[in-house]
Amino acid sequence: MFIAAAITVVAVFLVIHYWDAAAGLAGVAFQAAQPLFLGCAMAYIANILMSFYERHYFTKSKRPLVRKSARPVCLLGALLTVAAVLLGVIRLVLPELAECVTIIVSQVPRAVDSIAAALYRSGIFSQKVTQYLQDIDWQGLIEWCAGILTRGVGDAVTFAAGVFSSFVTALVTVFIGLVFAVNILLRRDKLKEQLSRMIGVYLPEKWHKSVLHLLNTLNKCFHSYIVGQFTEAIILGALCALGMLILGFPYAAMTGAVVGVTALIPVAGAYIGGAVGFLLILTVSPLKAVLFIVYLVILQQLEGNLIYPKVVGSSVGLPGIWVLAAVTVGGGVMGILGMLIGVPLSATVYQLLREDINRRDKGHAFKNAGGDDAKDAPAEK
């Protein structure tokens, strides 16, 4: 015990004394382990689909071949499902988004002239300012800005090489993460058993059950949150596309897909998708673009007050006010990643606190009841 405490004190002293070197080493290790972290996240999400398929894969069959093939077949089905959804969204969104950007860029000069003329007629702009704005070569200015963005301040070849290098690095990271995720899913039962044994061997007995309970609570909260968040995103995207079709708005399917995908970001995600939809519809009709924003705000209010608390809030057992607090704090600390993991982490803390308070409450109630009974009991002769 003394040796372990001494080693801990020395290690803490070295980390504090050589903090810069320790922080740099930790950063390098974290950077190197990124594909493994990505693989764990991919495995956890794919496991939800894989478990669903396993529960419906010839459950009554007793053939050894069927039982043996369940794990790889269901894993392949889960991966193909995710890939099909991603490819479907990309194919639906990217072509029309590129066309939309082209239309917006081509219509900027005409829009500026119209706005400047309207402001001149209303008396806000003078004739000199209006003439100055109309004389600017907006098309050339946009092309110049695009050149700056694509080339940067350096050479175009250097920029292209940097982009290609980043793309290859990201591709390798995703590939390694995918391979790691597949291995985790194929050996998940063995890994779970090994983790449980390791916790039992290295932790004191009084901590063993607490750590397992913590891990089980985390798993339940994250599983319920992911399922609820995806369900909510599908509902919101479908309602958005259906409402746009009924109201006669253009780009209904694409905007619904974008709103559904961005709705995976809690609370604020749908508004991000709404901004994309607004730009798309603006190329067709400014009035319809404004009406779309009004429609999306109403839909978002219904979703935030009815759908989200019921589908997500109740699924993780977290009241709506704490969902909003978790998203706000998580987004402020870690950005979009913080928004995504803030709710299930808060739900875990909320669940553990509630269990502890209930347990302590029962203990106090039991003691009080025992004390009152002892006081009121007749004295023995």
What is the tens place of the pLDDT at every residue in 115-173?
Answer: 767 766 777 766 777 677 666 666 666 666 656 555 554 455 565 566 667 778 888 88
User: What are the boundaries of each domain within the chain?
Assistant: 1-29, 33-199, 210-359
Find, among 348, 351, 350, 330, the residue nearest to 339 by Cα. Answer: 330
Q: pTM of the prediction?
A: 0.69
Q: Give the orientation angle of helix 156-186 with respect to helix 188-202, to 10 degrees.
A: 80
pLDDT of residue 153: 46
Report CA-CA distances (Å) from 326 to 217, 233, 261, 335, 342: 17, 19, 20, 12, 5
d(CA 325, CA 216): 24
Tokens representing 184 are 């985790």
Instruction: State the Cα–Cα distance between residues 244 and 224, nearest whole angstrom.
Output: 30
List of residues 6+ apart from 375 with CB closer than 8 A = none
Q: What is the pLDDT of residues 217-265, one digit of tens each?
A: 888 888 888 888 888 888 888 888 899 899 888 888 888 888 888 877 7
Tokens representing residue 324 in the block: 């909003």
Q: Calculate the alpha carbon distances from 146 to 140, 153, 158, 211 in Å.
A: 10, 12, 17, 54
Low-confidence ranges of the chain (pLDDT < 70): 1-2, 4-5, 15, 96-97, 99-101, 103-114, 116, 119-120, 125-126, 130, 133-164, 266-268, 270, 304, 307-316, 320, 363-381
Residues 288, 308: contact at Cβ < 8 Å?
no
